[in-house]
Structure 1
Amino acid sequence: MVRSLRTRDDEARELMDAPDCDPVMLARTYEQFGRINAVVSNQRAIYRRWIRPRLSHGTTHRVLDIGAGGADVPRALLRWARADGLRLEVTAIDPDERAFAWASRQPRTPGLVLRRTTSAELAAADEQFDVVTSNHVLHHLDGREFGALLADSERLASGGGVVVHGDIERSRWGYVGFAAGTLPFSSTLLAGSYIRADGLTSIRRSHTAVELASMLPHGWRVRRGVPSRLEVLWGADV
């Protein structure tokens, strides 16, 4: 039974997060993330607003993507930077061995560094990045994990970088829109994957802008994007 969208359903669990989920369906889900994120995540807007203005010709800049999954977003960032004549190195991290293994099997992308690690481990090693970002990670976290991610992000971008964590904004229209938009493809393009079921669960687990704003420490802010997007921001000029 689906709870009301007025409150966050933090008890709901995405099927692909289960340790014993179907490996074939999981691989199919990773394969489809690029198409789905191109529609629902609006990563191109994040690149244009927060990443490209910080890139300069002749310098290789470092971006960290946390919880990269199949690494479709890092590959897209590298593709857009190359098209703009800019040099970028994207470190894509995920502690899940299944995500790391799938991403590692894909064709090599120049500038992409895949690592099976966590933001905490990188922060402890004093790694530094020009941009720290994530996509659809925040709604997976409990309160302690959320606070830890923000603290790690500040350390990783403390040399003058910027942090942009993008996620879904929970809303009735977002839920209905995703449900209606994916229904025609549920037996064709999305068949054999967790995309539709887990996408709806993700919306139920996600926050509103007001909820996120109440959770943020000093120096952080939340910005609304489209479609039904939230950007949690920290750093210079955000």
Structure 2
Amino acid sequence: MLSRPAEAATPMQRLADRPELLDGPLEDVVALRGNLRDLRRVNRWLGGSALSRSALIALATGFHRDPRVGHLDWRERPITMLDVGTGSADIPVALVRWTDARGMHLEVEAIDVRHEIVDVAREVTAGVGAVKLEVADGPPLPYPDHAFDVAHMSLVAHHLEPNELEALLREMGRVSRVGVIVNDLERGRLAWLGAWLLARLLTRNRLTRHDAPLSVRRAYRAPELAQIAARVGLLEVSRTRGFLGHRYAIAFVHGVRGPSARDFSHGSSP
């Protein structure tokens, strides 16, 4: 029987200290707008928003079996969320519309460190009063302890080195009452190939073509991210994967030691 080459059996190592173009100067406004438009398409077509929704349901309803989590009655009062590194704020908009359609209410404070990005987000969120945008940086996050029910970030973690990610997760835990949601890419060779191909089929945008495959190389595998979160007292209670296995959303709570996290395929959550 033929064995696989050793290289093929070796997991893809994380590529550190190589920034994406989106992390550099954003002087080309046309390219930036195109890149953010591409990210909105990916979130919509490949289920990025749905992953965050599943994690929010886990925190709000407690479907993961631990009775101490999920005490929010989101039909009686608004749920408040901080979205860190919001980009176009398309995921907050999608979550607000989803909750509104079901007689619930979600209020989101969406922040990004780059004013150029927030300018684009203001256009995307026009008419959605439940999403408030601010230019803000962190850590430290400019909010008091327990200011929000949930702190959320999507496609942010892979931009950070482990010590930076740990510091941000600690702050997100500090400002949240119930828990933290992290939605990000899963590092792997198939995911890298998919990102490379999609970037060339989807767009000619130079930022997208450069950053998409690099984002996968810089991403944390879900167990790696959970380990970093555990160091700051955040414990995983649910994990949802995209239908292609390329992305995940993890819901964390504050030091609640319940059953082992379950790994749900996309669409299996309530």
Say if 1:62 and 1:90, in contact at 8 Å, map to a contact too. yes
1:6 has 2:6 as partner: no
- Deviation (angstroms), 1:38: 1.7
- Deviation (angstroms), 1:196: 3.1
Q: 1:174 aligns with which of 186, 191, 195?
A: 191
- Deviation (angstroms), 1:41: 4.9
Match of 2:114 in 1: 96
**Structure 2 unaligned residues grouped into runs of 5+:** 1-9, 62-71, 262-270
Give the TM-score, by structure 1 length.
0.84
Aligned residues: 229
1:201 has 2:214 as partner: yes
Letter of the 2:179 counterpart: V
Structure 1 range deviating more: 6-15 or 73-82: 6-15
In our comparison, the structure showing a higher alpha carbon Rg is 2
Alpha-carbon distance between aligned partners in 1 of 2:253 and 2:13, rounded to the nearest angstrom: 30
**Structure 1 unaligned residues grouped into runs of 5+:** none
3-state SS of the aligned residue for 2:147? coil
Pairwise CA RMSD: 2.5
- Deviation (angstroms), 1:87: 0.9
Alpha-carbon distance between aligned partners in 2 of 1:232 and 1:77, rounded to the nearest angstrom: 16
Match of 2:65 in 1: none
Alpha-carbon distance between aligned partners in 1 of 2:251 and 2:104, rounded to the nearest angstrom: 23
Match of 1:163 in 2: 180
- Cα gap change, 1:211 to 1:48, in 2 (>3 Å): closer
3-state SS of the aligned residue for 2:120? helix
What percentage of residue pairs aligned between the two structures are identical? Answer: 28
- Deviation (angstroms), 1:103: 1.5
Say if 2:180 and 2:253, in contact at 8 Å, map to a contact too. yes
3-state SS of the aligned residue for 2:165? helix
Alpha-carbon distance between aligned partners in 1 of 2:103 and 2:44, rounded to the nearest angstrom: 22
Say if 1:164 and 1:231, in contact at 8 Å, map to a contact too. yes
Alpha-carbon distance between aligned partners in 2 of 1:232 and 1:55, rounded to the nearest angstrom: 21
Equivalent residues in 2 for 1:205-224 (5 A)?
205-216=218-229, 217=231, 218-221=233-236, 223=239
1:36 has 2:51 as partner: no
Give the TM-score, by structure 2 length.
0.75
